[in-house]
Structures are given as structure tokens and as C-alpha cells.
């Protein structure tokens, strides 16, 4: 799908909840994808970790490519890896609609963002809790999506760090209207509303979906919290 069509799809229905596949049952990956698709998820967020940029390992482009055809849901690859430039082509070839790289992982994130856009995909830039918004200022025009980490990347199930709210507010005043503001880490019924109020419009959610038996109910409850906060 073309970048502009993906952007339209992401923005036309209001806030988007993206299940974080890090928290799914990998032994039943195909069934998990089907369950999320039926529950109405619009985006699946794939946490890619290399045991180097973050102290955990997950999966790479071959796994994403293997399941790409199983669903029409948009795929967002969150690359928590060193030297993302070495693997970028693989994630593009795997059919990721959004590719998000970490500011801290590359010397020149701007060049990578341009490359993602040249491939007609959405370019995302993530920042760790310790990175100030000011570090991104010059690159914001190159970003289709800015991802504020509200935990140290590496593991699901951590507590939300409220400093993310301040960053979302700051970013909201800096980015153009079409830019997606995403937040990732510790997002659940208590924290999703404040994030929506602070300006987030895409919410990455792991535990608060996968720890519940009914994904549709989890998505509906979280959506209601966003609407109540608006």
C-alpha cells in the first residue's frame, strides 16, 4: 500500500490502538494474528530486538514476512536494533507499512527516514525516555510518525513513565497536523486517557491486550477510555 493511503487509513477513524506482538503467544502466532484481525485491530506493532541495542531478543524480518499475507492489517516494525540501516531493506521487503527506527541507534536518523519514505512507506522515529524532544527538532519534517517510549525499550509489562506525557505535549506543538504521535510502554486503562489528552493518536499496547482473554473487549475498553479523555 502507498504511504499516503496508509496515512489516510491511520487518520480517518481517529485514535488507533496497535497491539504489541512482543506480548503475544508465539507458539500460536497465526491464531493470535487471526484473533486480533477479527477483533478489529488496524495495526500490528512488531517489536524487533537484537540483544544489543536492547537487552532482549525477539524476531526479525523473516518472521514478519512469513505472516504478512495472513492479514490485511497494517504492519509497524519497531526496530530496537543497532545499525538499523543494515537491515532496513529486509523490513521493507517483508511488507512493513511503517518502519520506526530509534534516534539513539543511528548517527544520521534523517537519512534513514528519507530512505523509508523513498520506499513509499511511513517513516517513524522513536525516542527513549532519556532522550529529549529537542534532539529531534530538525528531523521532525522527515517523520510521518514519532514514537515516544514511556518505558525503557526491551520488555513488555513495565510501568508507564509519566515523563512521556510532557514529551507528547511538547511534540504536539511542534509537529504538523498530519504527523502521527505514538506512545509505547505501560499503556493500559489507567494511562491511555492521559496520553490521549497529551496528544497521542496511536497507542502501542502489549499486556493490557494480551493479558486478557477477549481481545475485542480489551480494544473496546481502551477505545472508550480514549474517547472519555477527548
Task: Catalog residues that contact ligand DX5 under the rule CB under 6 A.
Answer: 20, 22-23, 45, 47, 78, 151, 153-154, 156-158, 184-187, 204-208
Residue 46 — φ and ψ, nearest 5°? -105, 110
In whole angstroms, how close is the CB of 8 to Zn ion at the nearest point? 23
Nearer to ligand DX5, 23 or 167 (CB): 23
Query: Which member of 50, 76, 144, 184 is catalytic?
Result: 184
From 15, 19, 47, 167, residue interacting with Zn ion (rule: CB under 5 A): 47
In whole angstroms, how close is the CB of 10 to ligand DX5 at the nearest point? 17
> 202 has which bridge partners?
16, 182
User: DSSP per residue over 70-138, as a string?
Assistant: T--SEEEEEEE-S-GGGTHHHHHHTT-SEEEEEGGG-S-HHHHHHHHHHTTSEEEEEE-TTS-GGGGGG
In whole angstroms, how close is the CB of 119 to ligand DX5 at the nearest point? 22
Q: Among 79, 119, 75, which residue's Cα sits nearest to residue 97?
A: 75
Q: Which does 154 bind (CB under 5 to 8 A by kind): ligand DX5, Zn ion, none?
A: ligand DX5
Query: Which member of 5, 34, 47, 120 is catalytic?
Result: 47
CB 204 within 8 A of CB 18: yes
The verdict on 76 binding Zn ion (CB under 5 A) reads: no
Distance CA 119, CA 39 (A): 30
Q: Which does 223 bind (CB under 5 to 8 A by kind): Zn ion, ligand DX5, none?
A: none
Distance CA 58, CA 111 (A): 26
Q: Is 184 a catalytic residue?
A: yes
In whole angstroms, how close is the CB of 136 to ligand DX5 at the nearest point? 18
As annotated, the active-site residues are: 47, 184
Amino acid at each position: 500500500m502507498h504511504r499516503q493511503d496508509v496515512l489516510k487509513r491511520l487518520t480517518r477513524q481517529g485514535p488507533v490502538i496497535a497491539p504489541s506482538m512482543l506480548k503475544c503467544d508465539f507458539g500460536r502466532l497465526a491464531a493470535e494474528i487471526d484473533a486480533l484481525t477479527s477483533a478489529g485491530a488496524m495495526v500490528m506493532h512488531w517489536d524487533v530486538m537484537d540483544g544489543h541495542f536492547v537487552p532482549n531478543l525477539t524476531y526479525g524480518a523473516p518472521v514478519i514476512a512469513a505472516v504478512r499475507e495472513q492479514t490485511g492489517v497494517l504492519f509497524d516494525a519497531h526496530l530496537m536494533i543497532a545499525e538499523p540501516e543494515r537491515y532496513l531493506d529486509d523490513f521493507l521487503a517483508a511488507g512493513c507499512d511503517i518502519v520506526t527506527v530509534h534516534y539513539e541507534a543511528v548517527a544520521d536518523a534523517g537519512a534513514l527516514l528519507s530512505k523509508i519514505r523513498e520506499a513509499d512507506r511511513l517513516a517513524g522515529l522513536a525516542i527513549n525516555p532519556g532522550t529529549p524532544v529537542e534532539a529531534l527538532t530538525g528531523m521532525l519534517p522527515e517523520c510521518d510518525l514519532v514514537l515516544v517510549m514511556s518505558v525503557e525499550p526491551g520488555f513488555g509489562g513495565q510501568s508507564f513513565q509519566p515523563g512521556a506525557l510532557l514529551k507528547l505535549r511538547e511534540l504536539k506543538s511542534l509537529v504538523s497536523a498530519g504527523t502521527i504521535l505514538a506512545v509505547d510502554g505501560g499503556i493500559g486503562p489507567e494511562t491511555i486517557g492521559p496520553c490521549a489528552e497529551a496528544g497521542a493518536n496511536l497507542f502501542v499496547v502489549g499486556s493490557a491486550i494480551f493479558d486478557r482473554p477477549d481481545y475485542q473487549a480489551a480494544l473496546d475498553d481502551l477505545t472508550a477510555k480514549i474517547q472519555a479523555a477527548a
